Structure 1
Amino acid sequence: MPVATREWQLAARPHGEPTPDDFRLVELERPGPAEGQVVVRMLVMSVDPYMRGRMNAGKSYAAPWEIGETMKGGAVGRVVESRSPAVPEGSLVLADAAWRDVAVLDAAHVRVLPELPGIPPSYYLGVLGMPGLTAWVGLFRMAEFREADAVFVSGAAGAVGSLVGQFARLNGASRVVGSAGTPEKVRWLTGELGFDAAFDYHDGPVAELLRDAAPEGIDVFFDNVGGEHLEAAIGAFNEHGRGALCGAISGYNAVEPPPGPRNMFLMVGKKLSLRGFIVGDHTDMRDEFTTKVTRMVTSGDLVVRETVRDGLDDAVDTFLDLLRGGNTGKMIVKLAEG
């Protein structure tokens, strides 16, 4: 039997900041599952900053969404019909099939998830999912974090940054500093998450704010923001500093290329290493990450916070709010009960 779905499609490519007119909600009938396929009712879906890049045409590390195409992203759902013995009915699964309420998928393209006490499905989109692995890979492999390093995290109240700072603190950092966009987020970083210092980047030049927060300099920088933050970090680095460049959200809506850091020459004298990375190239670390971080979550050592919105109808507004900094921790959309 055909499967009725509601799906968000890309209606137009944005010029600058996206608007609701760039999206279209449609009702479709998809063919029922063939052999080797499953029908998944989505429980929670993710909205992430990288999705802004997929709205643009042109080559990137993630294929662009096409006009009229149903958009994709991380989602966790429940299998309600299965024609694959590998993924039985009732399985909790992770799929690249967000932005819809129901999907017919090849069983080979979903990953069956464990159902553990104290681990809600949404955690597999955040702390135990792509953002968590991104934080782990960036800090420990890209930035080669070592005990007693002083660490600066830009965009530290987001899904990735809030975990980077905690991973550093729990592994013996001498100082953890973060930037965020509101006084409330700053208080959350220094209060509940245990950062040594944090600042609102609206309060002045980032270089000056960072100098006050890390007067002895930094050894590691995890960058989610780019622009002024990257320039400030280069200035604050101690010798042999290491940076993991994860994102540059400050420039995602730019219609002209933003200016680069003006102090790149300091990289030579300070002998710095800045490494950009894409988490999909480092899936060999997933087992180690999952084992260790699951233990941190269940023990209560790791603080996990989500900003939750309800309903597929609200998915676009939630995504646009994410791009404006409207989240603390991981932003997710709840689609159905589990």
Structure 2
Amino acid sequence: MTRKIIHIDMDAFYASVEQRDDPALRGRPVAVGGRGARGVVAAASYEARRFGVRSAMPSSGALRRCPDLLFVRPRFEVYAEVSRQIRAIFHDYTDLVEPLSLDEAYLDVSEDRAGLGSAQAIAEAIRARIREVTGLTASAGVSYNKFIAKLASDQNKPDGLCVIPPHKGAAFVASLPVSRFHGVGPVTAARMERLGIRTGADLRDRDLLFLQARFGAHAGYLHRAARGEDERPVRAHRVSKSIGAERTFDTNIADAAELIDRLAGIADAAWVRVERHQARGRTVTLKLRHPDFTTITRARSFADPVRDRDTFLAAGRLLLDRELPVPNGIRLLGLTLSGLVVPGAEAQPALPL
């Protein structure tokens, strides 16, 4: 049976919640995050995105792009509560809900529990319910697999709906730039550009042996994706292995005070992702890379989950203190939370700043 998959993605979720709750912010460029020298943008409104402001961007860089940017401190407890309201709506239509973060999820609606007649009708009903209950907008992609549904949800943002039926899937994928593909980051996209691969059609025209020689274990995924193929089921319960952030410095840093300051910014960036995934974990791991590329990790585990950013940072600070001084400096610093205990968060790699 052909699956019927919906990918729901809230529109500029954190920033939209803030604009909903504070009318003075509506229609203005808003960034959720800290404004300080080591602050990080957790989310940006669409008004801010027009200036090139993006999540995970240092706040100082965001202000250079948009001097009128308004910063709002994140209220994760509010976002989590709104997310719970949204997920309750999902479960009115299916039990097969795979959350990816607070603001997006896959739904398998192959079984039409509500009797609405089509996956498109279900997606429209869910979007209407979300608007009615939360006052927020969501975009949706509807298709026969997860890969295309996620691409489709981004097609008509914000507040949009895109339906890609099976007979149009391969052509839809062929028309898109490969940089839109999940799993194709800037480095891989640039490498493909050098190989003359710019669109899904270009990728489809390369055979598997060509891709294996250049992309190794990633080749099979790319080969299938270019043909609109994805057999992954919607999994209702997923547990993350770790969530973190790391930064490679332009020059090696030996000064203890500066390293401690940089660690705080990295902890902020990591905790944004921890909160986005509603995750809590028992192990904090510090990662240090020396100028000779020797990499060490130091970890501390707790009996109870780490529940706030300050405790997370304090654990990282203690681990860092034990490694000081570092006369030759450090070229990379990272901080990760692992041993996660909350289902529903998708495994994520460390987030470069």
Provide the TM-score with structure 2 as the length reference. Answer: 0.25
The structure where helix makes up a greater share of residues is: 2
- Larger Rg computed on CA atoms: 2
Provide the TM-score with structure 1 as the length reference. Answer: 0.25
